[in-house]
Amino acid sequence: MSARTLSVGVDMDALRHYLRIHGQAGAGAADEGGVEGAVDEGALDAAWAVALDRFLELFGALGLPATFYCVAEDLARSPACRPALARALAAGHEVGNHSWRHPYALTRLPDPALRAEVLEGKRRLEEALSVEVAGFRAPGYHTSPRAQRAALDAGHRYESSAFPCAPYYVAKGLVLALMRLRGRRSESIMASPRLLLAPRAPYLASPADPYARATAAEVAAGGALRHFPISVHAGAPLIGTAFTALGPRLSALLCAAARRRQAHLTLELHAVDLLSLTEDALDPRLAAQPDLRASLSRKRASLEAALSAAAHGAEPLTLTALARRLA
């Protein structure tokens, strides 16, 4: 079966969030209660000032629409954020909600704080950009019934948080365990292993378990939310980190194989997928993020090969357009 549709998303995570992942002191993250610490603004702006325009050039060359998932606080923190998003919207792309302040432990927050992260993210983006923000992607690849309810209450048309990839889940757990042994505290957390049971194809999620399909009664009651999981093929994730590691040829083979077997592909990228530690003169502490050590030429070639193979014979759509079609 050939893929009939293809959607591409880019999580526009500011670089300070990678300092949070790797337990770097003074990363300036909001804690689980929403209290903010000192901010390392020097690690912020490359995602908006540099990476987004590189994605616009790549997507323009390939004729692909994309969703840029944004952390709403960047509208105030980054001088480059709003002009960059205006360029993306003018080029025919869409903006998605990636929360207000990107708390990795979103699903562990008290209910008022969790709901504020979802609702304020959407509200602030819509007010600043004068567009509908239809999609939600939770920080850290995991959601919960409460997060899904908040997304529904805020008026989202879909969620794209599930990442049912066992090798990635295990590797993440090993990295976090190793960091703890070394006495470093990551703000990233492990999601429920139930996410590994999530459907691989788009589905209406149960309000009781967003990693399961809704029953007919749940759909009729209006509590189900359209979910587009991040695509995985034969255990390999269709994400930018994997494409950089595989290189152009293997990335193209992976996406071509996935396209032949799956009716829809959701590819997931990050701003760091088109940034380089040395070529962009980034904060040296970011060397802890392995893919930032790769060259821009390898990254650009790998993404182009992957996207071209995934798009061959498929209709490229934003997830909002696909959600409307499925509705």
Quote the CA–CA distance of 294 and 257 in Å, as a whole number: 25
Quote the CA–CA distance of 198 and 229 in Å, as a whole number: 8
Cβ-contact 243, 306 below 8 angstroms: yes
Q: Which tokens in the block code for residue 220?
A: 């009729």
Q: Supply the pLDDT for residue 41.
A: 54
pLDDT band for 26, please (50, 70, 90 cuts).
Answer: low
- Tens of pLDDT along 262-308? 999 999 999 999 999 999 999 899 999 999 999 999 999 999 999 99
Q: Which tokens in the block code for residue 218?
A: 């749940």
**310: closest CA among 3, 1, 80?**
3
- Tens of pLDDT along 122-181? 999 999 999 999 999 999 988 999 999 999 999 999 999 999 999 999 999 999 999 999
Quote the CA–CA distance of 207 and 13 in Å, as a whole number: 27
Quote the CA–CA distance of 235 and 270 in Å, as a whole number: 20
Helix (H, G, I), strand (E, B) or coil at 297: helix
Q: Which tokens in the block code for residue 285?
A: 């502490």
| Residue 249 neighbours by CB distance under 10 Å | 11
Q: Is the pLDDT of residue 108 over 70?
A: yes
Q: Which tokens in the block code for residue 204?
A: 């209406």
Q: What domains does the chain contain, in order, with CATH numbers?
A: 5-326 (3.20.20.370)
pLDDT band for 1, please (50, 70, 90 cuts).
Answer: very low
Global pTM value: 0.93
Rg value, the chain, Cα: 18
In the block, tokens 């939770």 appear at 138
Q: How does the average pLDDT of the chain come out, rounded?
A: 92
Q: What is the mean pLDDT of residues 196-201?
A: 96
- Tens of pLDDT along 238-249? 999 999 999 999
Return the axis-axis angle of helices 145-154 and 111-129, rounded to nearest 10°. 30
Alpha helices (runs of H) in 155-239, residue ranges in sequence order: 166-181, 216-220
Q: Which tokens in the block code for residue 30?
A: 């909001």
Q: Supply the pLDDT for residue 3.
A: 58
